[in-house]
């Protein structure tokens, strides 16, 4: 990629982000500052079994009546051990190009002394996701975005800010989204937000296998939108036992919308939220057509 092309992409992404921030409330969330993160106790004394700790995770989505929409993710992770460092040297996003795109907006490394080291997001690489082949699937539209984090050391906090754009609904006039709240790293705090048009509110919301006391949910009207929010705090890490399933299966706090043909796992805790067709294995009542 030439310097001119990289600069052009950077300018276009900056313009898109600026426009989206002016139009969507999902960008107006309470962001912890670097000093807030550095002042929060997060070490091996508190988490003796962890290689990394998710200090803060914000996931917000806004969808339109036709099922298209935009999502943002802001994740702050502290590296506690050498294995945690090795596992964190490359950040990644995945998406299906037939329905939209995903990209990093800002990535930074916060050093223990307060220095902030920016990572050039234009150096990310997009390629076909070869991991799908383990499931005997090959879809050239299934993409993965990877970005190296040079200079990352034990004791650092790295912050990943990304955007996911849905420009084609998987099912007509239906929005779907999934948010996991239990990981193989301890989770200190997660905020999840969904902004829905009043004409098409979420038709299906459920929580599966909730860890008591870890989730607080709210619902309110904001102008011509309905704002759904969940706050998840202090969730212990998952300790995997083979055979291991994806973290979206055993999850303490997941917001997801199973498709009509989807199946929900009976293990782990989750929240499901949808505007459309949920899993046939779950009871639901379809909202009136609008």
Separation between Cα atoms, residue 146 and residue 155, nearest integer Å: 22
Place of tokens 């990981």: 183
Q: Token pair 């239906």 is at which residue?
A: 174
Q: pLDDT, tens digit, for every residue of 208-235?
A: 667 788 888 899 999 999 999 999 999 9
145 falls within a domain: yes
Looking at residue 234, what is its pLDDT?
A: 93
Residue 253, exposed/middle/buried by CB under 10 A (0-12, 13-18, 19+)?
buried
Give the count of domains, the chain: 1
Give a yes or no: residue 78 inside a domain. yes
Q: Which two tokens stand for residue 103?
A: 């990209």
Alpha carbon 175 to its chain centroid, in Å, reads 16
- 19 domain-assigned: yes
Query: Is residue 243 in some structural domain?
Result: yes
The predicted-structure confidence for 96-146, as pLDDT tens digits, reads as follows 999 999 999 999 999 999 999 999 999 999 999 988 888 888 889 999 999
Supply φ then ψ for residue 289, to 5 degrees. Answer: -65, 140
Q: What SS3 state is found at 99? A: coil
Which tokens in the block code for residue 239? Answer: 């300790």
Is there a domain that residue 284 lies in?
no
**Mean predicted confidence (pLDDT) in 186-206:** 90
Residue 283 counted as domain residue: no
Pairwise CA distance, residues 106 & 159, whole Å: 8
Query: Could you give the CA distance from residue 199 to residue 178 in angstroms, rounded to a whole number?
Result: 22
CATH number of residue 46's parent domain: 2.60.40.3140
Residue 256: predicted pLDDT = 42
| Rounded Cα distance, 117 and 151, in Å | 9
For residues 240-258, give the mean pLDDT.
52
Question: Residue 61 domain-assigned?
Answer: yes
Q: Is the pTM of this model over 0.75?
A: yes
* Average pLDDT across the chain, whole number: 80
In 3D space, the residue among 223, 212, 224, 186 whose CA is nearest the CA of residue 50 turns out to be 186
23-44 pLDDT, tens digit per residue, is 678 888 899 999 999 999 999 9
Query: Residue 282 pLDDT more than 70?
Result: no
Q: Compute the radius of gyration of the chain from its Cα atoms.
A: 19
Tokens of 253: 């706090």
Domain-embedded: residue 285: no
Cα gap 182→84, rounded to integer Å: 17
Domain of residue 126 covers 3-275
């Amino acid at each position: 990629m030439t310097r001119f092309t990289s600069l052009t992409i950077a300018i276009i992404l900056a313009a898109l982000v600026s426009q989206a921030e002016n139009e969507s409330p999902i960008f107006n969330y309470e962001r912890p500052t670097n000093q807030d993160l550095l002042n929060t106790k997060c070490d091996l004394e508190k988490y003796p079994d962890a290689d990394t700790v998710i200090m803060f995770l914000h996931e917000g989505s806004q969808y339109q009546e036709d099922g298209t929409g935009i999502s943002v993710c802001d994740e702050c992770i502290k590296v506690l051990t050498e294995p945690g460092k090795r596992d964190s040297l490359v950040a990644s996003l995945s998406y299906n190009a037939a329905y939209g795109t995903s990209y990093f907006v800002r990535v930074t490394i916060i050093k223990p002394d307060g220095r902030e080291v920016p990572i050039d997001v234009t150096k990310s690489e997009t390629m076909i996701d070869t991991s799908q082949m383990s499931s005997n699937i090959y879809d050239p539209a299934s993409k993965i975005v990877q970005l190296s984090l040079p200079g990352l050391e034990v004791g650092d906090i790295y912050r990943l800010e990304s955007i996911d754009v849905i420009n084609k609904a998987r099912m007509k006039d239906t929005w779907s989204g999934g948010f996991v709240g239990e990981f193989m790293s301890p989770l200190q705090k997660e905020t999840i937000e969904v902004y829905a048009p009043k004409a098409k509110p979420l038709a299906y919301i459920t929580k599966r296998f909730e860890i008591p006391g870890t989730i607080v949910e709210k619902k309110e009207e904001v102008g011509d939108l309905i704002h759904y929010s969940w706050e998840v705090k202090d969730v212990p890490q998952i300790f995997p036992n083979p055979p291991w399933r994806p973290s979206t299966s055993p999850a303490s706090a997941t917001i997801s919308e199973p498709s009509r043909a989807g199946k929900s796992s009976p293990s782990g805790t989750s929240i499901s939220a949808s505007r459309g067709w949920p899993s046939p294995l779950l009871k639901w009542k379809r909202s009136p057509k609008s």
